[in-house]
Chains A and B, each alone.
Chain A
Amino acid sequence: MGGVVLETLSWKKLIILGLFLLFLLITFFLIGGLIAPRPTNVVHVIGTKCVNKGGVGNKEWFIPRGGSEKCIQYSSLDDPGIEDDRISANQIVFSFWLPHPREGIQLDFSRWQQTMISVLDLTILYDDENQVEDDAIIQLDARISYRDKEDDVNDWKELASSLEERQLRCEMEGKKENGYAYNCDLLSFFELGSLHYDYYLINIKVPVEPYKGINAGIGNLRDITLVGIHQNGGFTKVWLSIKTVMFPVVLAVLIWFWRRIGQLSRPPNLLERTLFALGIAMSILNCPLEWFTLAIDMPFMLLITDIRQGGFYAMLLCFWIIFTGEHIMDQCERNRLVLYWKHLLAVVIGCFCLLLFELSERGVQLANPFFSIWVTGVGAKLALSFIIVAAIAASCYFFFLCYMIFLVFRNISAKKVALPSMSKSRRSFYMGLIYRFKFLMLATLVCSALTVVFFIISQLSEGQWKWGDEDPSLEYTSAFFTGVYGMWNIYVIGLLSMYAPSHKQFVQGSNAGGDSQEEEVQLTYLPSSSETSAIQSFAAKVAAD
C-alpha cells in the first residue's frame, strides 16, 4: 500500500532525522542568541526648546544643532530669558534631530535599521495654580522632515505634518507639591515603515488658544522627550540571512513534495493540497523582500510583513483543523473543503478582523505616520471591537479543534480495542493512521510549547531588564525570534517531507491477498470503513481460506 514517508522510515532513521532537526532548531536559537544583537534599540532625545520669531504661519525648520542654521534656543523653559523676552507658549518649538552625535561623530540612520516608531514622554511639573485637568487633551502641531548626509545643512524636506490630539493621562503619586513631576502615560507619536534617509528632524509646537480651550489644561509642561525605537541593523542582517537561506530550501522541498504527488495515479487529496498551501504560505513569508528596502523606499514593508505573517498563521490554523478532521476515522467521507466551513469560517473571520485592524492602523500610517487608531474615541472602540471579534473567533476555533482532537482520540482508543481482530493490512492501515496523527500531535505540541516558553522567557528578560546587571551572554529576545521562526520553518519542512507519499511498498509477508483490496487507500481516507465491515471482511477472508 502507498503510505507516507513517515511510515516507511525505520526507527533509526527517524531518530537520526529528529536529532538533526533538533540540532537545526538549536542552531537557529543560538544564531539569534549569540550573533544577533537585540531586535530593537532606543534613541532618547530631549526636545530642544527653540523660539519661533516668525509668527504662527512660519514654515521654516528649527534645527537644534549646528552652526548658523541652529535655532534660537533656551536651555530650559524656566530660563529667566523667556520671561524677559516675553516669549509666549505659541512661539516655543520643540525640536528633535535623530540620531544623536556620539563620541564626537554625528551618527546617521542606516537602511538596515528598517523601521522606527516613537513615543513621547512629557515632563509636567505640578503647580498648585496650574494643574493638569482630568481628561485633558494635548494638541500637537507635529512635522517631520528628512535629510541625507551629503545634502545641504538647511535642506530638510518635509515627510509629513499633522495636527494631532492625544489624551493626557497624568497622575500625582505621593506628595502634591510644586516642583514634583506628574507620572504621565507615554503618548504614541509616529511610526515610520522605512528608515530610508540619514537624518530625521521633528518639530513639535504646542499651540495655545485659550478661548477655544485648546491646550488649556495641560499643566506646566517643561520637557518633551522623544523615545525612538528602531530595529537594529545587526538583527536585520541576521534575520535576512536566515530568510535568504530558508526561502530556497523550503521552496525546493515544496517542489519535491508536489512532484511526488504528481507521480501518483490519483488526484491529490485535500490534506495534500492543504500541506502544499501551507508550504506556499511559508515560502511567501520566507521571501526575502526586505533586500529591496536597501535600495528603494518601501514604507509599506511593515504592513506587508504583518500580512505575510498573518497569512502564514492563518494557513497553519486551517491545516491543523483539516489534518485533525481527516484523521477522525469515522464513517463520513470527508476530503472536501466545504465540510470544514464552520471551522474555517472562524479562522477567516478572525484573520479578516485583524487584517482590517492592521489596515486601519498601519495602512493609514502610510499616509500620516502620526496616525494611531487608539487615540480617538471612535477609533479605539472600533479597534477594540475588531480585536474582540477576532478573540471570539479564536476561541471558537480552539473549541472546534479541541473537540475534533477529542473525537480522534476517542476513535483511536476504540480502534485499538478492535485492532487485534482486524486483517493485517487493515490493521497496518489504521496503525499507520494513528501513528501519523500522534506524530503530528507530538510535533505540534512541542512546537507550540516551545513558542510559548520562548515567548515568556523573552518577555521576562525584557521586562526585568535593568542596567547594572551583567550583560546577558544570550540575547533572549533575538533568540526567541530566530528560534521560533526557524522552528516553524523546520516544522513545515518536516511535514512536507514526512507526509509526502512514499515510493516504498509494504512487504506484507503471508497475507499478500489483502493488498489488492487496499491499493486504492489514500493518505487518510478509507472508503466505507467501520468496525462491523472490518469484522465482516475478516470473517469473509477466513471463510475463503
Chain B
Amino acid sequence: MCCANMATYKSWWNLLLKLTIFWIHTYSTCAFNEIWWNLGMSGVLQNPNLYIVGTKTMCVQLKGLSLGQQKLCTLYHDHMPSVGSGAQMGINECQYQFRFRRWNCTTIQGDTSVFGPVLQIPSREAAFTHAISAAGVIHAISRSCREGDLASCGCSRAMRPKDLNRDYIWGGCGDNIEYGYRFAKAFVDVREKEKNHPRHSEALSRMLMNLHNNEAGRRAVYNYAKVACKCHGVSGSCSLKTCWQQLPTFREIGERLKERYDGAVEVKFNKRGTRLKRKHKKYNKPSKEDLIYIDQSPDYCQASKDTGSLGTTGRECNKGSDGMDGCNLMCCGRGYNTFKKTIVERCNCKFVWCCHVKCKTCESVKDIHVCK
C-alpha cells in the first residue's frame, strides 16, 4: 500500500519536472522569437559543415525551426534549401517593396528573429512579412520541383510510392504549385499550431493572425497563377487543348501583397475570444486573401528599445518627392544632411542575353540626402 503510494508520488514528481522543463523550453523559444525565416539569411544553409553531420543533427542545428518544423526537416531534408531560398526571396522582395518606407524590412544579422523585435507587435508589417515568406516557400518549392532538384517532390495522384511509376503512366503527375502549396502549408503553419493558447490571450490572437496571413501569402501565389493552353488536335486544331499553370514572377506576388498590405484589415477578438473579426464595421470583412493585423504600427521614426524600431536616422531620402521616400516624411521632420558622392557606374555596355558584359566605367557626382 505504502510502496504503491510512493510510486504514484514519484511519477507525479517526474511529470511535474518534465512539465517545468517543457515550459522553460517553450518559454525560451518564445522569448527569442526564433523563426524559420532565419534559413533565408545568408550563411545559414550555405554552411558546408551542416550537411556532413546527418539530417537529424542538421535539422536540430538549424536555428529558427520549431519542433514540428524540425520533424518535417528530417522527413524532407532535401526541401530545406528551397525553404531557405524561399525565405530569402521573401526577405529580398520585402526589402524591395519597402525600400522607400520608414520601415524598410531591415534584417538583423545573427538575430534568429530575422527582422528584430519590432515584429513582435502584431502590426501590418508583421502581417506582410508572414505572407511574403509563406509565398516565398510555395514559389521556391514549386520551382525546385520543376527544375527536378527535389527528388522527393510529390506526384499527388500516387498514394503509395511503390506504384508511383504505374500511376504516373496512367494519369501523369499532379501540378507542382499544388505540391508547393501543400508543403508550404504544412511547414509554415506547423509552427503556429504547436501550442494551445487560452481564450482571449494575446498569444492566441497572434497565432490566428499569423495563420490567416500565411494563407493570404500562399493564395497570392496560386490564385494568380496564370493558365496557359496549347491546342494540339487533328491538324493542329483546338479539338484537343491542354492547359497548365504558370507561376507568376515573385515580383508580381510582392506587388500584390503590397496592395494587400495597404488595404489590410484591423481585427480584434470576438466576444468568446476564440476568433478574430474586423474591428470597424464600415470596412469589408477580410477575405482569405486579405492581410489582417491587430495593433497599429509604431511610426518607426525613432530608434526605440520598447518597440524595437530602428528609426530612420541615417536613411537616404529623396529631396524632391512628396511620397514616403521624400525627406520630409522619411526624416519625420528632423531635417537631413546633404553630401556629395562620386558614383562609379557601368556605362556604354554591350549587352547580350546573359553573362559577362563588356562595359566602360563612368563617374558622376550626385547629391545624397541623409536623415538626421
Contacts and interface: CB of A to CB of B under 8 A. Distances in A.
Interface of A: 37-46, 48, 64-65, 77, 82-83, 86-89, 91-92, 97, 99-108, 110, 112-113, 117, 119, 121, 123, 127, 129-130, 179-181, 186, 206, 208, 210, 215-216, 218-221, 225, 227, 229-230, 232-234, 237, 306, 309-310, 354, 357-358, 361, 455, 459, 462-463, 465-468, 477, 481
Contacts of B178: 467-468
Given A107-B164, A218-B353, A309 B234 contact: yes
Contacts of B283: none
A540 B116 CA distance: 113
A225 B147 CA distance: 9
Given A40-B240, A107-B164, A119-B230, A46 B353 contact: no
Interface string B215-237: 00000001101011110101110
Contacts of A465: 227, 243
B145 to A, nearest CB: 7
Chain B residues touching A, majority SS: mixed
A181 B146 contact: no
Given A41-B173, A41-B242, A77-B354, 20 more contacts: A40-B240, A42-B172, A43-B173, A87-B355, A92-B355, A97-B148, A100-B145, A103-B158, A104-B151, A105-B164, A110-B169, A127-B351, A180-B251, A221-B354, A232-B169, A354-B235, A459-B241, A462-B242, A465-B243, A467-B222
A87 B357 CA distance: 10
Given A45-B148, A105-B161, A129-B349, A186 B228 contact: yes
Contacts of A306: 234-235
30 contacts: A42-B172, A44-B145, A77-B355, A88-B356, A99-B168, A100-B146, A102-B154, A103-B154, A103-B161, A104-B151, A105-B164, A108-B165, A119-B230, A121-B228, A180-B251, A206-B354, A208-B353, A227-B228, A229-B230, A229-B232, A229-B242, A232-B169, A233-B169, A310-B235, A354-B235, A357-B235, A462-B242, A463-B241, A465-B227, A467-B177
A82 B353 CA distance: 13
Main SS at interface, chain A: mixed
B146 A459 contact: no
Interface residues of B, number: 56
B171 A234 contact: yes
Interface string B117-134: 000000000000000000
Nearest to A102: B155
Interface of B: 96, 143, 145-148, 151-155, 158, 161, 164-165, 168-173, 175-178, 222-223, 225, 227-230, 232, 234-236, 238-246, 249, 251-252, 349-356
A455 B240 CA distance: 9
B75 to A, nearest CB: 12
A358 B251 CA distance: 42
Contact of B148 (A65, A234, A237, A358): A65
A387 to B, nearest CB: 8
B173 A46 contact: no
Contact of B353 (A89, A358, A459): A89
Given A39-B240, A233-B169, A83 B356 contact: yes
A232 to B, nearest CB: 5
A221 to B, nearest CB: 4
A227 B244 CA distance: 9
Contacts of A45: 146-148
A38 B172 contact: yes
Contact of A46 (B143, B154, B238): B143
Instruction: Give the top 10 A-B pairs by smallest Cβ distance, nearest first.
Output: A41-B172, A37-B171, A130-B351, A233-B169, A234-B170, A221-B353, A102-B155, A110-B169, A42-B244, A101-B151
A219 B352 CA distance: 7
Contacts of A129: 349, 351
B354 A121 contact: no
B42 to A, nearest CB: 12
Contacts of B350: 210
Contacts of A82: 354-356
Contacts of A462: 229, 241-243
B352 A102 contact: no
Nearest to B223: A468
B169 A113 contact: yes
A208 B352 contact: yes
B230 A467 contact: no
B76 to A, nearest CB: 11
B172 A219 contact: no
Nearest to A387: B235
- Name the residue in A101, A102, A105 with the highest tally of chain B Cβ atoms < 10 Å from its Cβ: A102
A358 B165 contact: no
Contacts of B168: 99, 102, 107
Nearest to B154: A103
A214 to B, nearest CB: 10
A242 to B, nearest CB: 16
Max count, chain A CB within 10 A of own CB: residue among B168, B223, B241, B252: B168
A44 B244 CA distance: 9
Nearest to A130: B351
A37 B235 contact: no
Contacts of A215: 352-353
A112 B169 contact: yes
Contacts of A459: 238, 241
B242 A46 contact: no
A439 B366 CA distance: 87
A88 B238 CA distance: 41
Which of A206, A225, A467 has most B Cβ within 10 Å? A467
A104 B77 CA distance: 12
Contacts of B171: 37-38, 41, 232-234
A180 B249 contact: yes
Nearest to A121: B246
Contacts of A87: 355-356
